[in-house]
Structures are given as structure tokens and as C-alpha cells.
């Protein structure tokens, strides 16, 4: 290699130009990384003050961190002279393709974020949604898990859950038990109401306020039907439901009040 043929001035200019660019890129990376950490730390404090769900905090902070790092990388590449227009276009196209492929998942993610922000229910609540009834076991980014009444695990996509009707039985703390009992037409209405009300007031888990109610619901084909409406704490719903059903039968039998049941009548024609 002939050193006399080397254009020293040209190489010095190139070294100075790119050296300054590289140095500037290093400074931008260091300062940018510090700013990103501060932004994420500040965002985390705001989320803690607003009582954001822990899983939502982690996801949003990670998402914010990746977005800021990608922006920082593009700025650094532009500083050292790399053409970033095509690079940004490739990222946008890739993002669009991923978004189209994961459209359903993104809808579930958005639904999960809405649930975590607006909190229509929390872990431990008894809810009814999407035709399912169960206790909320876990709220994840894409799905919500319920424990059904027969100890089934029910997994509902958050997109469907956030866009449908949700009945939360736990929010108010109390729940009305709706029962219907029929007695024969020969039965005395006042006596029947007293017997039914006696069962309700004697049960330890039936609340006095709101007060239980017993009313005539309808005059059916073969029975007079009574609406029996006790109130209880949400967690005692099924205890009260099954106890009252059993105790009403026993109390009506003891009082000599008939509970009608279907009869089959056979008609014989003479030959």
C-alpha cells in the first residue's frame, strides 16, 4: 500500500464528519435512555395514584417503553446518517400486517384495558355475562376467568365481555331471592301468607331490611301462586334459596295446606 497516494485530508474530513455523528448518536442514546426511564417512572407514579390494576400497569409501562425505545433508535440511526424514511415505512407496514392478523386479539386487549380502567367488576365478584354466571377468578389482558357454580372454569374474551351486558350481583352487597310456590284453590290465602312469612322471618340469613315479602302472584290453572321474596347477603344467596324451598314444603305440610301437583285423568269409552 502506497501511503503517498492516500488523501489524508479527505480521510480526516470523513473521520471528523462521521466521528461527530457517531459521538452525537452516543450522546442522544445516553440522554434519550435517561429520559425514557424518567418518563416510565413518572407514569408509574401516576398509575399508582390512580389505583390502576397491577397487570394493566405492567403491560402499559412495557408498551410505552418499547414505543419510546423504537423512536429513540430511529433518531439515533438518523443521526449517524442512515436513511430512516424507508425504515419507518417498513415498521409501519409490519405493524399494519400484525394488526390485521391479530385483529381479534387486539379487540380483546382493548376490552381488557377498558375493564381494568372502568372496573365494572373485580376479583371475587359474582357476575353474569355472555350467558355465563360465576365468580370472577382472574382478570387478564385478553380474557377474564370465572369460577362457575359447579366449580367450572369459564374463560370469556374481554372483547365480548366489554361490549356486552354485565350483571354484577356483588356490587350492592345484598340480593333478592325470587321464589314461587303454589297452593290449592281451597287453601286460605291469609293463612298461607302467614305460614310463608313465618318461614322467612325465622331464617337467620334472611335480612329484616329490606323486609321480605309474600304476595299473590297469579291465579294459575290448578293453583294459587305466591311470590316469595326474601333478601340476603350476596354470599348467602344459594343457602337461602335451598333452605327456604325445603322449609316452605315442610311448613305447608305441617299447616295442612295442599301443594297441588299434576293429575292424569283417563277417559274410557264404552265399546
Question: What's the average pLDDT block by block, 10 residues per block, for the chain (271 residues)?
Answer: 54 63 81 89 85 69 80 79 65 60 68 83 90 88 86 92 91 92 94 96 95 95 94 92 96 93 63 54
Q: Which residues of 84-110 are buried (b: 16+ CB within 10 A; e: fewer)?
A: beeeeeeeeeeeeeeeeeeeeeebbbe
Of 169, 106, 111, 156, which is closest to residue 130 (Cα–Cα)?
156
Residue 86 is predicted with a pLDDT of 62
Residue 214 is predicted with a pLDDT of 97
Residue 3 is predicted with a pLDDT of 47
Residue 193 is predicted with a pLDDT of 96
Of 235, 261, 263, which is closest to residue 249 (Cα–Cα)?
261
- Whole-angstrom Cα distance, residue 180 to residue 203? 17
Q: Is 224 in a helix, a strand, or coil?
A: strand
Cβ of 121: how many Cβ atoms within 10 Å? Answer: 23
Cβ of 160: how many Cβ atoms within 10 Å? Answer: 15
Among all chains, which residue has been given the C-alpha cell 457517531? Answer: 22
Of 102, 103, 105, which is closest to residue 113 (Cα–Cα)?
105
Query: Strand order of the sheet with strand 213-219?
Result: 179-183, 224-229, 213-219
Beta strands in the chain (DSSP E): 126-129, 132-139, 143-148, 153-157, 166-168, 174-176, 179-183, 213-219, 224-229, 231-233
Sign of the alpha-carbon dihedral angle for 107, 110, 114, 115: positive
Stretch (H or E) spanning 108: helix 103-118
Give me the count of residues in the chain. 271
Helix 84-101 vs helix 54-79: angle between axes, to the nearest 10 degrees? 150
Amino acid at each position: 500500500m502506497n501511503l503517498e497516494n492516500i488523501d489524508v485530508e479527505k480521510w480526516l474530513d470523513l473521520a471528523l464528519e462521521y466521528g461527530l455523528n457517531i459521538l452525537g448518536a452516543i450522546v442522544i442514546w445516553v440522554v434519550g435512555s435517561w429520559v425514557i426511564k424518567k418518563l416510565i417512572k413518572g407514569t408509574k407514579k401516576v398509575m399508582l395514584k390512580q389505583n390502576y390494576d397491577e397487570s394493566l400497569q405492567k403491560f402499559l409501562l412495557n408498551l410505552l417503553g418499547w414505543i419510546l425505545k423504537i423512536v429513540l433508535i430511529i433518531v439515533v440511526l438518523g443521526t449517524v446518517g442512515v436513511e430512516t424514511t424507508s425504515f419507518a415505512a417498513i415498521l409501519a407496514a409490519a405493524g399494519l400486517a400484525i394488526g390485521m392478523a391479530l385483529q381479534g386479539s387486539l379487540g380483546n386487549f382493548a376490552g381488557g384495558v377498558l375493564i381494568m380502567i372502568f372496573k365494572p367488576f373485580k376479583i371475587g365478584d359474582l357476575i353474569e355475562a355472555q350467558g355465563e354466571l360465576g365468580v370472577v377468578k382472574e382478570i387478564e389482558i385478553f380474557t377474564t376467568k370465572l369460577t362457575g357454580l359447579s366449580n367450572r372454569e369459564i374463560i370469556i374474551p374481554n372483547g365480548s365481555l366489554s361490549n356486552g351486558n354485565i350483571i354484577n350481583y356483588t356490587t350492592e352487597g345484598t340480593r333478592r331471592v325470587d321464589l314461587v310456590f303454589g297452593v290449592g284453590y281451597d287453601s286460605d290465602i291469609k293463612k298461607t301468607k302467614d305460614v310463608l312469612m313465618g318461614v322467612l322471618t325465622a331464617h337467620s340469613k334472611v335480612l329484616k331490611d329490606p323486609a321480605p315479602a309474600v304476595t299473590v302472584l297469579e291465579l294459575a290453572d290448578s293453583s294459587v301462586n305466591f311470590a316469595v321474596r326474601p333478601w340476603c347477603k350476596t354470599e348467602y344467596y344459594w343457602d337461602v334459596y335451598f333452605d327456604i324451598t325445603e322449609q316452605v314444603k315442610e311448613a305447608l305440610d305441617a299447616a295442612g295446606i295442599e301443594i297441588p301437583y299434576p293429575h292424569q285423568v283417563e277417559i274410557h269409552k264404552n265399546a
